[in-house]
Amino acid sequence: MPVTLADVRHIAALARLGISEERGQTLVAELNSILAHMDVLSRVDTDGVEPAVGIGAAGTPLRSDEGPPIPLARPIAELAPRVQDGFFLVPRLSTHESAEES
């Protein structure tokens, strides 16, 4: 399914990005080129090829997080104006508030 200029404009609007007509056309061509390449890759015969280790739903295995906590050079209360249960409390961004909260 090819990407259209309307698709690019819609995604740019969701990301709050302003793009020129020329840049939009360039993005359409680049995205369609990527999708065409993915289409070629999807047609490759992979019968008999062993799957890669660590890829898939299980993800990459991680080591356990061991060892003592690293001490801070100063008390945590000196690093932020507000702290609760060892976490920094920061003000909520106005761009993440709903109309009711404002």
Which tens digit of pLDDT belongs to each residue from 12-62?
A: 999 999 999 999 999 999 999 999 999 999 999 999 988 776 666 667 778
Indicate whether 33 belongs to any domain.
Answer: yes
In a domain, 20, yes or no: yes
Q: Residue 36: give the domain boundaries.
A: 5-42
Q: For residues 73 and 55, give the distance between their C-alpha atoms in angstroms, rounded to a whole number.
A: 39
Distance between CA atoms of residues 27 and 17, nearest Å: 13
Q: Is residue 28 part of a domain?
A: yes
In angstroms, the CA 73 to CA 7 distance is 50
Whether 73 maps to a domain, the answer reads no
Number of domains in the chain: 1
How far, in Å, CA of 90 to CA of 20, rounded? 36
Please state the separation of Cα 9 from the chain's center in Å.
20
Quick check: is 12 in a domain? yes
Residue with tokens 């008999």: 48
Q: Say what the pTM is.
A: 0.49
- The per-residue pLDDT for 98 is 66
Paired tokens of 101: 């909260």
